[in-house]
Amino acid sequence: MIKNKEITHLEHSRVKLSLTIEKEAVGKEYHKLLDDYSKTIRLPGFRPGKVPPAVVERKFGEGLKAEAAQKIVEDSLKTVFEEIEEKPATYETPELQDDYKLSFDDDFQFTVAYDIFPKVEIGPYTGLDIEQPVVKITEDDEKRELDVLVEQNSFIVEKDGQAEKENSATVNYWEVDEAGAEIPGTKKQDMPLVVDAGHDIYGIDTELAGMKKGDTKNITKSYPADYREKDLAGQTKKFVIELTGLREKKKPDLDDELAKDISEAYETLDDLKKDIKKRLEESAAIRTRSLTVDALMDQVVEKSNIDLPESMIRAEQKRLWRQFAGQFRIKEEQIEQLLTIQNKSKDDLFAEWRPRSEKSLKIQLCIQKMLEAEKIEISDEELDAFFKEQSEGASMSFEELKDYYIKNNLIDMARHDAQEKKLFDQLLEKNTIAPGKEISFTEAMGGKQ
Q: What is the pLDDT of residues 121-143, one digit of tens each?
A: 999 999 999 999 999 999 999 99
Please tell me the total number of residues recorded for the chain in this structure: 449
- pLDDT tens digits for range 54-103: 888 888 888 888 889 999 999 999 999 999 999 999 888 899 998 777 78
Please say if the pLDDT value at position 236 is more than 90: yes
d(CA 382, CA 370) in angstroms, rounded, equals: 19
Under the banding of pLDDT at 50, 70 and 90, the label for residue 446 is confident
Average pLDDT, the chain: 93
Residue 100 pLDDT: 76
Write down the pTM of the prediction.
Answer: 0.76
Under the banding of pLDDT at 50, 70 and 90, the label for residue 449 is very low
- pLDDT tens digits for range 142-175: 999 999 999 999 999 999 999 999 999 999 999 9
Domains in the chain (CATH in brackets) are 2-117 (3.30.70.1050), 129-143+259-446 (1.10.3120.10), 155-250 (3.10.50.40)
Strand-pair partners of 122: none
Helix (H) or strand (E) holding 446: helix 441-446
Residue 161 pLDDT: 94
- pLDDT tens digits for range 6-26: 999 999 999 999 999 999 998
Is the pLDDT higher at 446 or at 295?
Answer: 295
Residue 128 pLDDT: 97
Strand-pair partners of 17: 7, 112
- Exposure string for 221-249, b = 16+ CB within 10 A, e = fewer: bebeeebeeeebeeeebebbbbbeebebe
Rg (CA), the chain: 35
Helices 269-302 & 411-429, crossing angle to 10 degrees?
A: 80
State whether the Cα torsion 144-146-147-153 is positive or negative: positive
**Strands 108-115 and 216-222, how do they pair?**
unpaired
- pLDDT tens digits for range 331-370: 888 888 888 888 889 999 999 999 999 999 999 999 999 9
Q: Quick check: 150 and 255 in contact, CB under 8 A?
A: no
Under the banding of pLDDT at 50, 70 and 90, the label for residue 38 is confident
Strand-pair partners of 237: 221
- Name the residue among 288, 253, 296, 249 with its Cα closest to residue 437: 288
Under the banding of pLDDT at 50, 70 and 90, the label for residue 448 is very low
d(CA 363, CA 361) in angstroms, rounded, equals: 5
Rounded mean pLDDT, 389-402: 87
For the chain, give the percent of residues with pLDDT over 70: 99
d(CA 426, CA 126) in angstroms, rounded, equals: 10
